[in-house]
Amino acid sequence: MQLLGALADLRNGLRQWMLASMPADSRLTVPRATLLLGLSLKRDPAGMSEFGESLGMSPRNMTVLVDGLAKEGLVRRVDHPRDRRIKLIELTPAGREVAEKELGPSQVAAATLFDDFTQAERDEFLRLLGKVADCLRARGMDVPARKRE
């Protein structure tokens, strides 16, 4: 139970840290920035529900968010390869540029959180996080695999 509590506390703290690292003059709201950044980390198109859950947004609010970003040409909807009822979203080249130029520096700033870790500690932390992800996958949870560098 202590581990679950610690993870919940870390999630909230990390979210605050990420928000504090965002540029103050950005025209992006937190949900828009989170969605663009999340899509920039994906290789393949993703479902809106995946991001809606992490943003705490209803399907209707996610639709409004995606509609706005699509209208600006930052994301586009694409068909699911196996289920024609499902629409996925992906970044457009313009959306990728916004994510890299406006959010890239904030990612670098946020990553400084781990500067206090030794390389061995970072490696061990990544290994343990990977093990947690593997355990979730083994229990049927959809956890994207991260490439290990």
Are the C-beta atoms of 68 and 95 separated by less than 8 Å? no
Give residue limits of the domains in the chain.
2-114, 117-149
pLDDT for 14-47, tens place per residue? 777 877 777 776 777 778 888 898 898 888 898 8
What angle do helix axes 2-21 and 104-111 make, rounded to 10 degrees? 130
pLDDT for 60-83, tens place per residue? 999 999 999 999 999 999 998 888
Are the C-beta atoms of 57 and 31 separated by less than 8 Å? yes
CATH of domain 2-114: 1.10.10.10
pLDDT for 101-139, tens place per residue? 888 887 788 788 899 999 999 999 999 999 999 999 999
Q: Determine the pLDDT at residue 2.
A: 92
Dist. CA 149–CA 134, nearest whole Å: 17
